[in-house]
Amino acid sequence: MVLHRNLGPFDTTAIGLGEMPLTIENNLGPKMGVETIHAALDAGCRQIDTAWAYYCSGGEEQTGEKLVREALASWDGPRDEVLVATKVGHFRNFTDGKPTWDVDGSPENLIKRAKQSAFELGVDMIDLLYFHRPDPKIPYGESCEAMKEIRSMGIAREIGISNASIEQIDIAREILGDSLIAVQNQFSPIYTETADTLDYCGKVGLSFVCWSPLGGFRKPKDESKFDPFREVAEAHGVSYQQVVLAWELAKGSHVFVIPGAHRPATILDSLKAGDLELTPEELAKLG
Ligand SMILES: NC(=O)c1ccc[n+]([C@@H]2O[C@H](COP(=O)([O-])OP(=O)(O)OC[C@H]3O[C@@H](n4cnc5c(N)ncnc54)[C@H](OP(=O)(O)O)[C@@H]3O)[C@@H](O)[C@H]2O)c1
């Protein structure tokens, strides 16, 4: 069985499927998207991470949420066991002719997008809704107040924040109280700048969800950071990606990972990381 942990009130898998590669640029089409989600669920994965903004710049909006809905509707397993998390506050744009990400953390926009997310996911209440990224144009507290309102309107059961500093986590805790259950920040061997927030979440009782836990699907700038993971992987006869995920999960029982995948094979391999036990010596070597 895939490793389970408590994310707020949800009993879910410590390893979730990051849906983003299935619907942004360079995705392999909706058929492969549904196959990948079904493969993950069939293997026991019970957490899917999507966002309002997971679509191709200039294309149809919310294709990520629509794909998740389609995959769950055509899956013959226990739908009510699956935690679906989504996010609001980001949208796609073109900057200098290139697809980019932009933010709108205004209360009106967050509330409007949350309603649209629930609609496209086909649910009355979203399980877990994150505020995707701070908007420098809007005081952080105002965006958090909007997330509180979204919850009191019954659109989301629980709230998370993403790309947040310790200071922002504290603002969100003050406003959202117990309805704030998770912080989703970038964290991987090539991105450890957020380690302070990972530790802080453990201290204050919040779950910490690592995004791009494998360094992202674009070639990382510093491949050599993965070398120690490759060495440990060789000793265990597993992929180095499993070692990376197991190392992250070993940082605390409040830690979750949401590896992305373009195809079934990679998420099926990643889901095995919950069974991989690293020795104290190996963990010390990996840092
Ligand atoms: N909150 C935020 O602001 C934010 C930002 C970015 C991402 N996210 C979330 O984080 C999720 C994960 O991030 P990500 O997709 O950028 O990057 P990632 O999980 O670090 O890396 C995904 C890449 O790793 C490969 N991979 C995954 N498992 C593998 C395995 N076991 N063996 C070999 N290769 C493997 C995939 O290969 P294939 O392509 O071959 O399948 C894919 O190219 C996203 O899907 C999204 O849900 C959140």
* pLDDT level of residue 220 (50, 70, 90 thresholds): low
In this structure, are residues 219 and 252 in contact, taking their beta carbons and an 8 Å threshold?
no
Q: Is the CB of 105 under 6 A from ligand 1?
A: no
Q: How many domains is the chain built from?
A: 1
At 153-192, the pLDDT tens digits run 999 999 999 999 999 999 999 999 999 999 999 999 999 9
Residue 189 within a domain: yes
> Does residue 122 form part of some domain?
yes
Q: Is 5 in contact with 206 (CB distance < 8 Å)?
A: no
Percent of the chain with pLDDT over 90: 95
Residue 220 DSSP symbol: P
For the chain, the first-to-last Cα distance in angstroms comes to 27
Is 243 among the domain residues?
A: no
Domain presence at residue 151: yes
CATH number at residue 189: 3.20.20.100
The alpha carbon of 108 is separated from its chain's Cα centroid by a whole number of angstroms, namely 24
83 sits in which H/E element = strand 83-88
Region 74-86 average pLDDT: 98
Give dist(CA 151, CA 128) in Å, integer.
10
Residue whose Cα lies nearest atom 32 of ligand 1: it is 266
Residue 228 token pair: 């120690």
As given in the structure block, the two tokens for residue 235 are 């000793």
Confirm whether 235 is domain-assigned: no
Catalytic residue set = 54
From residue 252, how far is each of 27, 178, 193, 206 by CA, in Å? 32, 20, 17, 11
> Has residue 281 been placed in a domain?
no
Residue 226 counted as domain residue: no
Distance 87 CA to ligand 1 centre (A): 16
Q: Are the beta carbons of 18 and 258 closer than 8 angstroms?
A: yes
Domain encompassing residue 206 = 9-221+252-275
208 assigned to some structural domain: yes
